[in-house]
Structure 1
Amino acid sequence: MADWGPVIVAVVLFVLLTPGLLFQIPGNNRAVEFGNMQTSGASIVVHAIVFSGLITIFLVAIGVHIYAAKI
C-alpha cells in the first residue's frame, strides 16, 4: 500500500496557495488582493513560506496518511 497523504496535501496546498489565483499577499496595490491573476517576487516568497509552514504542520505535526489499497 502506498501512502498518498503527502502527495495529495502538497498538490492541494500548491493549487490553493498559487499567488494570484485565489489571493495574493502582498498585493500590488493593497496588502491582500483577491483573484487578480498577477504575481510579484515578494508574493512568491510569502506564499512559499506559508506553503512550507502548512505542509510541515499537515505532514509532520498532524501526520496525514491516505493509503490506497490494491484492487
Structure 2
Amino acid sequence: MKTDWGPVFVASVLFILLTPGMLIQVPGRTRYVEFGNFQTSGLSILVHSILYLAFMCIFLIAIGVHMYIGS
C-alpha cells in the first residue's frame, strides 16, 4: 500500500517558509517587505495565511505534487 506524502511535504515546507517574521514579512512594520526581523503583526499574519492557502491550492490542485512512499 503506497501512501501519498506530497501534501504533507508541501504543507510543511510552506509553513516554514511563510511563517511571518521568520524569513520574510509582508507587510513589515517599518517597510513593505522586511527580512528576518522575527516580529509579526495581525495584518502580516493575514497576508501570510492568504499566501499559504494560495500556494497550497497551486501545488496540490493545479500542479498535483505527489510523493509515494511504501511498498
Tell me the TM-score range normalised by the shorter chain. over 0.9
How does the TM-score come out when normalised to structure 1? 0.96
In the alignment, the residues of structure 2 paired with residue 23 and residue 66 of structure 1 have an alpha-carbon distance, to the nearest angstrom, of 28
CA RMSD across the alignment: 0.5
Q: Where does structure 1 lack aligned partners over 5 or more consecutive residues?
A: none
In the alignment, the residues of structure 2 paired with residue 68 and residue 37 of structure 1 have an alpha-carbon distance, to the nearest angstrom, of 35
How does the TM-score come out when normalised to structure 2? 0.96
The answer for the alignment partner of 1:55 in structure 2 is: 56
Alignment of 1:6-25 (within 5 A): 6-25=7-26
The 4+ residue runs of structure 1 with deviation greater than 3 A are none
The answer for the alignment partner of 1:65 in structure 2 is: 66
The answer for the alignment partner of 1:28 in structure 2 is: 29
Q: Where does structure 2 lack aligned partners over 5 or more consecutive residues?
A: none
CA apart distance, 1:9: 0.1
In the alignment, the residues of structure 2 paired with residue 69 and residue 51 of structure 1 have an alpha-carbon distance, to the nearest angstrom, of 28
> 3-state DSSP class of the match of 1:39?
coil
Q: Percent identity?
A: 61
Corresponding pairs, count: 70
